[in-house]
Amino acid sequence: MAPKQKLELAWIGKEHRPQLEPRILLEDPEKSYHATHRVTENDLFDNRLIFGDNLLALKALEAEFAGKVKCVFIDPPYN
């Protein structure tokens, strides 16, 4: 049986990752929307929509969610 292959993204300079200091996310009440109450016990209140730089946002979430997240959807910038 052949060993499992691992897919990996590669690019020039990948090994030279920038060192970022930890960031803190601040909630903007004008952009926030929260349901007033749970309808059932299965309701989730853990989604977050973050406006800003993708890398900085991920670094800000790293301490709280490292090893706990299965999927992140990042909307790419359209310049």
Q: pLDDT value at position 18? A: 73
Domain for residue 62, yes or no? Answer: yes
Establish if 71 belongs to a structural domain. Answer: yes
- C-beta separation of 75 from 39 below 8 A: no
Classify residue 21: in a domain, yes or no: no
Give the mean pLDDT per block of 10 residues along the chain (79 residues): 79 80 78 76 76 82 84 70
Residue 66: inside a domain: yes
Query: Per the structure, how many domains does the chain have?
Result: 1
pLDDT at 77: 64
Numbers of helices and strands, H then E, in the chain: 1, 0
In a domain, 23, yes or no: no
Is the residue at 72 inside a domain?
yes
- Give domain status of residue 44, yes or no: no
> Residue 17: its pLDDT value, please?
74
Q: Is residue 76 part of a domain?
A: yes
pTM of the model: 0.51
Residue 59: which domain range? Answer: 53-79
The pLDDT value given to residue 24: 80
pLDDT of residue 3: 74
Question: What integer pLDDT is reported at residue 78 of this predicted model?
Answer: 59
